[in-house]
Amino acid sequence: MRSPAPLLLILALTGCAAAQPGYTPESGSKVPAQFKPFNGGTMQAGGQYTVSQEERALSCSKLTGSMHVIMSRLKDSANRPKPSETAVAMQSTAKPFIGSGSNLDVGDEIRQARARLKAYNELLAEKKCKTLDIANA
């Protein structure tokens, strides 16, 4: 039978290596603007997307880039396999115990993405920028 001593020694040494003596992280460090959370718009009960002030401040190229990302996600969702009946049944059974959270079904995600595309396209037109063809998205 092998002795557990080598394993315990390795665990003890790796625990010591996790923190260097004298190191304290900067408490008041500034987070760069590109890493700060973005306040997006909201979905209305009627299925319309309301653009936030931060989204209104975006340049035409940033809005267009966001729209391209949304459209590629929509194309990808068409290739996503449908969940099995067993998976759907298990999720609906577990929902009362773990809550619904922000998990949307694929249909809701697609409707929200299309509403967002429409709102972004209207914002591009409002800013007198070139709009995108979102009919096939």
- Give per-residue pLDDT as tens, 96-133: 777 655 555 677 888 899 999 999 999 999 999 999 99
Locate 110 and state its tokens. Answer: 């697609």
Using CA atoms, how far apart are residues 19 and 85, in angstroms rounded to an integer?
48
Q: Are 121 and 104 in contact (CB under 8 A)?
A: no
- pTM exceeds 0.85: no
Token reading at 27: 């408490």
Let me know: does 129 contact 63? Beta carbons within 8 Å: yes
Question: Distance from CA of residue 92 to its chain's centroid?
Answer: 23
Q: Give the chain's mean pLDDT.
A: 80
